[in-house]
Structure formats: structure tokens, C-alpha cells
Structure 1
Amino acid sequence: MTQRGLARTAGVLYLIVAVCGGHSQLFVREKLVVHGDAAATAAHIRESAALWRLGMISDLVNITCFLAVALVLYALLSPVSRWLATSALVCNAVSVAVMAANLLNHYAALVAATRGFDDRLAGFYMDVFAQGYLIGQIFFGLWLLPLGLVVYRSGMMPRALGVLAIIGSAGYVGDLLRTPASPVLLALAAIGEISLVLWLLAGRIRTVTPAATRAAVAA
């Protein structure tokens, strides 16, 4: 596959990640989970069990495509820096593993809510899920750091995309500390990711030969 073909493939996969991840988090869990009220959470899950299951399916598609994005970007960017591309792939894989394991808490909340268990158990599983989500976010943030660096060095895309990805990494990791700068950094992270997805979808990358890649890295 050509470099432009790899870029467009990564863009399509990343778009699926954004759509499915946004659906499961914003339109399922944020809609049905009432923070601090286990009884209301359990009632909402029981009433919308099909939507809750659909959220889990969306997350499974999300994390599968997220891993595929990393593999495709590795194929595209490893000639620039195999170490940075591998670092991004490893952080991505850890994030995917954490998110996949954390889906057990999502499913356990459904079981607790629909099979006669105490409603507090559903609330407990969602509290655990929230912490697992934050752990996955750490590695998601870390994956953007080497990705941003290798994009910056590649010469295939505008360096601004690499800079925004690096800022996004700081935003996701810093969000755990709830610093005053977190909202600004997260907004820049969103802008950077959206810009990267659109650039990849358009296939607007400069084809780089191995010799040009070596020269860019040396520079």
C-alpha cells in the first residue's frame, strides 16, 4: 500500500474510533449513569439495557479500530523513527488492553442491575469503571507524545499537527491532576486530533522516499 493509502486508511479508522468512542461515553454512559446515585443508575440501565449493550459493542469496535490505527501509522511512520513509532504502538496497545479489561465493569453493571442484585453493586462497578477509564486515558495521552514527535520529524504532514499531538498528550495526562490549564490543553488536544484525522482522510501527506526520510531525521 502507498503512503497516501496508509494515511487514508488510518484516517478512516481514527474517525471510527472517534464516532464509536463518543457514542459509548457521551450518549450511553453520560446519559444513563447518575454520579453519586447508584439506585438511579441501576434503574436507568435496566430501562435502557439494549442501549447499554450497544454502548459496549461501540466500545469494542472503538478499541479494535484504535489498535488498527496504531498498526497502520506504525507502517507509515516507522521509516522515520522506528523507536518513536514502536513507542507509540506500545502505549496504544497498553491503552487498548486497559480499556478492554475495563469493559468487564461496564458489563458487570448491567448484570447487577438486571439480575436482582443490590443496586449499589451497579454503582460500585461504574465507580470502578470510571477509575479504569482514567488509567486508559493515561496511556492514550502517552501514545500521543511519540506520535506527535514522529509526525513532527517526518516531513509528511505539517509540523503543527505534531505539536498539537504533543500538547494533547500533556492535556490528557494533566487532566488527571485537574490543573487550571487542563481544559485549555484538552481543547487543543481535540483540535489536534480532529486536524490529524482530517489530514489523514484527505491523504494530504507528502510522499517521502527513504533517502529523504534519512535526511529529515538527520536535520
Structure 2
Amino acid sequence: MNNGLPKISIRRAAIVSGIAILIMTLAAVVATDLTIGPLVIPDNPSVTVDNINTDQILFRIGIFSWLVVLICDLVIAWGLYIFLRPVNKYISLVSAWLRLIYAAILGTSILNYTSVLTLLDSEFYSATFGQEYVKGQIWFLVNNFDTSWSFGLVIFGMHIFLLGYLGLKSDLIPKLLSVFLIIGSVGYLLINLFTLIIPENQELIQILQWIFILPMLSEVVLGLWLLIKAKRFLTVS
């Protein structure tokens, strides 16, 4: 019976991780492409603030979606640690901690959006400091989310690299998928480092996004694969 417990935990960890990865992906799409993303107009703070103020419900849905992403990241960090612990306990632990650090950075980034709502919902700031000041603060907070999240995604890229490395060292993850995870980690690192260091070079950043778009989606494939192949992990010790 004791020998069976680790096997069951690995299977459950695979299922939980797979479900959390897929939910996280859907929530991230809602947050970036369907709610907050369309409201933010690059290099146009006035229109952005007007968009957010006009459609606060959509903005709140976006914040909720980011909270779902955050919770899923915490679950995934735990699940993948359990799943990959038999390969190398220490590297798996480091990988989990990197994802937890990323989640902490994401959490602080989300606070920027909640602060936007505070500014919009209170007439005190507009009456005391003026409407233009409030707009400037909101624009700062929106951009600060992007900057903080980019920093977090550098840490996330390190986490993805270790996932790929552990996959190559075992039979738990297909070798091809592991290679794509490693390539995707390079994409996360390059794109977000350049975003932080040379944000004005959007052309280069967009080129890198197109080059690494498929490898950076490899975690989604990993989530699907964990769900489809979960039964086989009953035999993994």
C-alpha cells in the first residue's frame, strides 16, 4: 500500500496540473485579449483612461481573470513539483520556487489594476489633484503592470527551462515537447529582457514573438498531454 501512494500522487498531480494549465491559459486569454487588453491603447493615455472609465465592468472581469491565473500558477507549481520530483527532487523544487516567485510578482502587478479602480471610484483624487493628475497616475499604473509582469516572465522563463530539462532527463514528458519547452523558455527570456532593457525597439520584440510563438505555447501542450496520458503515470514510481 505504501508503494502505491507515490504512484497515485503522481497521477493526481498530473491531472491537477493539466487542468490548472488549461484554465490558466483560458483566463490569460480573457485578461489580455478580451478584457483589459482591448481597453489599453498604446501611446494614448487619454483614450485608455476613458475606455477603462467607460467600461469598468470589463476591466473588473479582466482583474478577476488575472486572479484566476495567479491561483492556477500556485496550483501548477505544486502539481509539477510532485509530478517531476521522482526525476530530481532538488531541481523540481527550484522549478516550483521559480514559479511561486513569478506568481508573487504577478500578484503585485495585479495590484496596479486594483489601484486604477480606486482612483476611478473616488472623487477625492480628482477634486484634490485634478483630472489630469488622475489620468497620469492611471496611465502609470497600467504601464507599471506591463513592466512588472515582464520582469516576472523572465523568472517564468527560467521555470519553463527547468521543466524542459527535467523532461529530457526522464520519460515523464515526451522528448520533443521537452525541447520545445526549452526553446520556449529562451523566447520568454529574450522577449521580456528586451522589453525591459530596450522597450522602444518594438520591431525587434515583435520579430522575436513571431519566432518563438509556437515554442512558447508548449506549456499548453504539456497541460493537454498530462490529462490525456494521466493513466500511464500509475506505473511511474
In the superposition, the TM-score normalised over structure 1's length comes to: 0.88
Kept in 2: contact 1:99–1:133 (CA 8 A): yes
- In the superposition, relative to structure 1, how do residues 29 and 204 fare at CA in structure 2: closer, same or farther (>3 Å)? same
Kept in 2: contact 1:142–1:169 (CA 8 A): yes
- C-alpha displacement of 1:181: 4.3
> Which is worse superposed, 9-18 or 23-32?
23-32
> Which is worse superposed, 154-163 or 174-183?
174-183
Kept in 2: contact 1:6–1:72 (CA 8 A): yes
Structure 2 residue matching 1:154: 3-state secondary structure = coil
Matching of residue 18 in structure 1 with residue 25 in structure 2: yes
Specify the alignment match of 2:213 in structure 1.
Answer: 186
Residue deviations 1:91-112 (CA, integer Å, cap 9, x gap): 1011000000111111122223
Rounded to whole Å, the distance in 2 between the matches of 1:159 and 1:205 is 19
- In the superposition, relative to structure 1, how do residues 114 and 45 fare at CA in structure 2: closer, same or farther (>3 Å)? farther
* Match of residue 55, structure 2, among 27, 43, 48: 48
- C-alpha displacement of 1:205: 6.7
Specify the alignment match of 1:167 in structure 2.
Answer: 183
Amino acid at match of 2:215: L
Kept in 2: contact 1:95–1:139 (CA 8 A): yes
Alignment of 1:67-216 (within 5 A): 67-116=74-123, 117=126, 118-176=134-192, 177=194, 178=204, 180-190=207-217, 192-204=218-230, 206-207=232-233, 209-210=236-237
Structure 1: which 5+ runs fail to align? 211-219
> Which is worse superposed, 150-159 or 1-10?
1-10
Amino acid at match of 1:22: V
Kept in 2: contact 1:4–1:205 (CA 8 A): yes
- C-alpha displacement of 1:114: 3.9
- How well do the aligned residues superpose, as a CA RMSD in angstroms? 1.8
Kept in 1: contact 2:21–2:220 (CA 8 A): no
Specify the alignment match of 1:213 in structure 2.
Answer: none
- In the superposition, relative to structure 1, how do residues 114 and 92 fare at CA in structure 2: closer, same or farther (>3 Å)? same
Amino acid at match of 1:144: I
Kept in 2: contact 1:84–1:149 (CA 8 A): no
- In the superposition, relative to structure 1, how do residues 130 and 153 fare at CA in structure 2: closer, same or farther (>3 Å)? same
Q: Which protein is bigger by CA-based radius of gyration?
A: 2
Residue deviations 1:104-156 (CA, integer Å, cap 9, x gap): 11112222334343212211111111111111111111110111111221212
- C-alpha displacement of 1:66: 1.0
In the superposition, the TM-score normalised over structure 2's length comes to: 0.82
Kept in 1: contact 2:21–2:219 (CA 8 A): no
Kept in 2: contact 1:141–1:169 (CA 8 A): yes
